[in-house]
């Protein structure tokens, strides 16, 4: 549970960093989804970024983990739904907004699946684990396992990004 919380915390804190660093850019991403009945403002991007930061921080604290995991599931499901709706509309060229400035990534069904998988992982934090006193080796093992989970997650993301770029290059030649 701690390892999953570390991974999800990193996912949400890094996503928040991208949004909070450039809320003007994320506002454009929000507008491109064409889901809001009004133009998005920098305030919307700021609120989403702060919400993601709160979720990421909440996942690190045992007393707030359940609430943060619930919020994570809601946010991930909303993102999966927004991406899926746009894919059904045939709007595959828009940036997902998940990679930050300078790392645009078009939406795809892979991202819907990724968000559903992350939501399922967040749901596993609700499972009660037997209480026992954790020693230093337990904490060290969880820290390294969490770090490994982040590396694997990021590596899979890079592979997906490269595959999408390769597919785009093949279409132009």
SS (H, E, C) 32-98: HHCCCCCCCCHHHHHHHHHHHHHHHHHCCCHHHHHHHHHHHHHHHHHHHHHHHHHHHCCCCCCECCC
Residue that has been written with the tokens 């499972």 in this structure? 127
pLDDT in tens, 48-69: 999 999 999 999 998 999 999 9
Give long-range contacts, CB 8 A cutoff, 24+ apart: 23-30.
23/49, 25/101, 26/97, 29/94, 29/95, 29/96, 29/97, 30/97
Domain containing residue 119: 2-172
- What is the tally of structural domains in the chain? 1
pLDDT in tens, 106-160: 888 989 999 999 999 999 988 877 777 778 777 788 788 878 878 887 787 777 7
């Amino acid at each position: 549970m701690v390892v999953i919380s570390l991974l999800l915390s990193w996912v949400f804190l890094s996503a928040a960093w991208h949004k909070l660093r450039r809320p003007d850019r994320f506002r454009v991403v929000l507008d491109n989804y064409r889901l809001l009945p009004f133009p998005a403002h920098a305030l919307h991007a700021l609120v989403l970024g702060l919400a993601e930061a709160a979720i990421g921080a909440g996942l690190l604290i045992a007393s707030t983990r359940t609430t943060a995991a619930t919020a994570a599931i809601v946010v991930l499901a909303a993102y999966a739904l927004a991406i899926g709706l746009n894919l059904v509309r045939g709007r595959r060229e828009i940036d997902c907004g998940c990679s930050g400035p300078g790392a645009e990534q078009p939406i795809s069904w892979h991202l819907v699946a990724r968000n559903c998988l992350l939501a399922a992982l967040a749901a596993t934090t609700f499972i009660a684990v037997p209480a026992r006193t954790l020693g230093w080796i337990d904490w060290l093992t969880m820290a390294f396992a969490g770090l490994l989970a982040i590396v694997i997650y990021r590596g899979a993301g890079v592979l997906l990004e490269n595959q999408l770029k390769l597919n785009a290059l093949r279409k132009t030649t």
